[in-house]
Amino acid sequence: MKDLILKLEENKNLTDYEFKKLIECCDNEVVKFLHNRARIVSQKVYGNKIYIRGLIEFTNYCKNDCYYCGIRKSNSNASRYRLTKDQILECCDIGYQLGFRTFVLQGGEDGFFTDEKLVDIISSIKSKYSDCALTLSIGEKSRSSYQSFYDAGADRFLLRHETADKTHYKKLHPDNLSLENRMNCLYDLKDIGYQVGSGFMVGSPFQTVDTIIKDLKFLKELNPQMVGIGPFIPHKDTKFCNETSGSVELTLKLLSIVRLMIPNALIPATTALGTADSNGREKGVLAGANVIMPNLSPMDVRSKYLLYNNKKYTGDEASESVNNLKISMKKIGYDVVVDRGDYRTI
């Protein structure tokens, strides 16, 4: 099995059968070897640095109805909010002082925020914080909208593909959403010049080893600059409320595999991983992650941006606790740095 891991590290493709063997392998020693190799590869590119991103969840209104998501349109129990431009800028201000040099504007697909409004917010942030990177995570838009946000100064865009299997995609999303459009968006974003992030949930309902293999192969082909992988966690107000959460072990395994396949990727130890396991973030870093995205949203809205149950937003997930984060990373041999943390091509 170790030969497969080394093969991946040498940038060689695995067959579907080999991927399956590796994904299903539960031998502790092999899994440890996989995480170690992934960590070594991450350190070769990014050293022992951990990049932090300040996550600003600026709206939980969403016109979509993704079956897994707590802020889906038809969840009438969700208490909806939007931040004003001033509130967003205030988040950046607080974040800047805490040492953040990347801000991530994340939100549901909210028609209130027209292109014009978004362009205004983006250009205001970029002119005030010209040494910072700005990441958008605002869903599917037209190519011309993506272009105007890029022209306004946005540097990066996160859009998880969620699953690279058409049939699986249909089981997670209503009919008006398609994998094809999602993928087109990702290729548009890359083409425009964004640093692009994609990714998927681990253990989402109807996921199989075969769909995971498709996810890995799609990521290899897209070759994104960032990859977000976190366990699926059910939300009580969705039709998947009684499904089981994704496995932390499998998430870590896939994180390591992605690190070996895309050595230069910026890979977060996600909030979902930190929610599913109290040491999730450390485990993520030790499996090859090099990014953490603490929550910078105003305290009174954090409890409203609930994509899944028990989502963490206090304690170490909070930007205010960045000092604790520094300490916990130091303990495992990593330095949280004040840096934009751009993609490296070496």
**Residues contributing to the site for ligand 5AD (CB under 6 A):** 68-69, 160, 162, 201, 230, 232-233, 235, 272, 307-308
Cα separation, 51 vs 44, in Å, equals 15
- Residue 171 burial (C-beta neighbours within 10 Å; 0-12, 13-18, 19+): middle
Which one, 173 or 253, has the nearer CB to ligand 5AD? 173
Task: State in angstroms the smallest separation of the CB of 305 from ligand 5AD.
Answer: 10
Give the alpha-carbon dihedral of 163, 164, 165, 170, to 10 degrees. Answer: 50
Which one, 68 or 150, has the nearer CB to ligand 5AD? 68
Task: State in angstroms the smallest separation of the CB of 161 from ligand 5AD.
Answer: 9
Which one, 234 or 341, has the nearer CB to ligand 5AD? 234
Which one, 62 or 322, has the nearer CB to ligand 5AD? 62
Task: State in angstroms the smallest separation of the CB of 107 from ligand 5AD.
Answer: 10
Task: State in angstroms the smallest separation of the CB of 188 from ligand 5AD.
Answer: 17
Instruction: Return the bridge partners of 229, or none.
Output: 200
- Residue 163 burial (C-beta neighbours within 10 Å; 0-12, 13-18, 19+): buried
Which one, 235 or 312, has the nearer CB to ligand 5AD? 235
Q: Other C-beta atoms within 10 Å of 304: how many?
A: 16
Cα separation, 221 vs 203, in Å, equals 22
Task: State in angstroms the smallest separation of the CB of 70 from ligand 5AD.
Answer: 6
Task: State in angstroms the smallest separation of the CB of 138 from ligand 5AD.
Answer: 10
Which one, 162 or 188, has the nearer CB to ligand 5AD? 162
Task: State in angstroms the smallest separation of the CB of 87 from ligand 5AD.
Answer: 20
Cα separation, 313 vs 303, in Å, equals 7
Cα separation, 198 vs 294, in Å, equals 19
Q: What residue is closest to ligand 5AD based on CB?
A: 308
Q: Which residue type sits at 36?
A: N
Which one, 261 or 307, has the nearer CB to ligand 5AD? 307
Give the alpha-carbon dihedral of 212, 218, 222, 227, to 10 degrees. Answer: 0
Cα separation, 317 vs 306, in Å, equals 14
Which one, 5 or 186, has the nearer CB to ligand 5AD? 186
Task: State in angstroms the smallest separation of the CB of 308 from ligand 5AD.
Answer: 4
Cβ-Cβ contacts under 8 Å for 21 (sequence gap 6 or more): 1, 4
CA distances to 27, 208, 255, 264 from 43, rounded to whole Å, are: 24, 31, 15, 10
What are the helix (H) ranges across 262-310? Answer: 271-276, 280-286, 299-302
| Residue written as token pair 């994509």 | 307
Which one, 262 or 307, has the nearer CB to ligand 5AD? 307
Asked whether 107 and 156 are in contact (CB, 8 A), the reply is no
Task: State in angstroms the smallest separation of the CB of 345 from ligand 5AD.
Answer: 26
